Amino acid sequence: MRWMLAGLSFALAVGMAIGTAAIRAENAIRRHAVEQAYRDVRDRQIELLRLSVEHLSEAASERLAEIHWRHLRAEAARRRGGQS
């Protein structure tokens, strides 16, 4: 009877060790996925900040005036070409 209990205890210990290893492996996989998602979000935040700064520099008054004059000249050229 003692040998049977010892065998069952050993089998239970082996089963628990295998289960624990499987759970740890799954946790490592999930942790890696979460870290990758975090890095992706951080990269997108940095890109959003860069685009925001770039957009603000495009909206500078000198830049807007330059774009406006370019449109006015194009419209004047278009009207001159249509009347001739």
Give residue-wise pLDDT tens across range 5-57: 999 999 999 999 999 999 999 999 999 999 999 999 999 999 998 888 777 77
Question: For residue 44, what are the CA distances in angstroms to 50, 62, 79?
Answer: 10, 29, 45
- State the pLDDT at residue 50: 86
Domain encompassing residue 56 = 2-83
Whether the full predicted model's pTM is greater than 0.95, yes or no, is no
Task: Report the domain count for the chain.
Answer: 1
Q: Please say whether the beta carbons of 63 and 57 come within 8 A.
A: yes
Given a cut of 70, is residue 82 above it in pLDDT? no
